[in-house]
Structure 1
């Protein structure tokens, strides 16, 4: 029994070449998305809709997608951090208004998502876990930004920013990332990973139910 448990654990944590390639590819793709969002954020956050400065946290969840999506797809320790870090690095290399400091943000955001997946022992991948991963990634980033960018804000402003960032992380990165992975799985693109196997298992059960 102990040997069987060790074997399952090893299979769960051991990286295949396809896992490493996928972390890199997801990171690069999302890094380009981050870069595009950087440009849009500079415009949108300055509009009257966000005249209350902390409210910009409501549109920050996009930058947390790397950790959530990478973790949900590869489902191995380090995938969330790795994907988010690659994405942040690509975003930095393409150019942005914050410079290389976004790499630090990527590390913090990825670690936040990673911590949630680790708490569930890399065995739970539902929408609630994804939302928690996005929320904790957002919380970590918001606290970092208190000191890096918004040290002149009052503590009340900082707390509101934290709350908005957490909500955006849970909904945009968490629920949105989970929905994105499900959509990709339905195309067959993730057949080599857990989400692809889950999709085929669901469709098989649905087919059996219809036949019954």
Structure 2
């Protein structure tokens, strides 16, 4: 009788997901990034009427709604699940918003996209790009919020009072956790249910849970 093949154990083990970007990864990340840029443009129009009462009540609370500008990076990362996805998604969204609206703050908008994307990217890198559940999404959104807060306090509010900086920081990080973290996770699950993410682990995971 022939000896059993030693490769049996390796055949049953789950392969490591590839960290290399596929063409479909680039396409989907780009589409989501541009869509995020469109959301930015619309939110720019609605921002002042929504946040003015909060700012008048307590300066710094306006940052509770800044997380809307942070979601593309986290959303792209949750779907593509490759190094650089959060950074790519946020930069594409920032670039698209500049091209569409032609804002005079173009360079600063791109810098914001870079820093915010890096905030989320750093969290996912610490997690070794292996954790993609709700909690990692929320923490990544908070990380994007940290990047936003640091840049805003340096660029837009230099020399601000400590009380304002603390309120702004807590509000901005919380907003990133809710809008960019929880919000992106819910959007990802909604897209997965439609079958649009069948070529991604995010879509296959939700489908396998539904079947079990």
2:210 pairs with 188, 197, 203, which one? 203
- Structure 2 CA distance, aligned partners of 1:170 and 1:97? 29
- Structure 1 CA distance, aligned partners of 2:54 and 2:127? 38
State the structure with more CA Rg: 2
Gaps of 5+ in 2: 1-6
State the secondary structure of the residue aligned to 1:45: helix
1:170 pairs with 166, 171, 177, which one? 177
Does structure 1 residue 100 correspond to structure 2 residue 107? yes
- Structure 1 CA distance, aligned partners of 2:110 and 2:54? 28
Q: How many residues align?
A: 200
2:74 pairs with 68, 71, 81, which one? 68
Gaps of 5+ in 1: 206-212
1:155 pairs with 154, 162, 165, which one? 162
2:134 pairs with 127, 137, 153, which one? 127
User: 1:42 deviation in Å?
Assistant: 2.6
Deviation by residue 1:36-77 (Cα, 9 ceiling, x = unmatched): 11111132222x233122001100011110111010000000
Does structure 1 residue 192 correspond to structure 2 residue 194? no
Runs of 4+ with deviation above 6 angstroms: none
1:83 pairs with 81, 89, 107, which one? 89
Does structure 1 residue 112 correspond to structure 2 residue 148? no
User: 1:156 deviation in Å?
Assistant: 2.1
Deviation by residue 1:59-104 (Cα, 9 ceiling, x = unmatched): 0011110111010000000111001100011111222463331110
Does structure 1 residue 37 correspond to structure 2 residue 43? yes
Q: TM-score, normalised by structure 2?
A: 0.89
Deviates more, 1:69-78 or 1:150-159: 150-159
8 Å contact from structure 2 (residues 54, 62) kept in 1: no
State the secondary structure of the residue aligned to 2:202: helix
Q: TM-score, normalised by structure 1?
A: 0.89
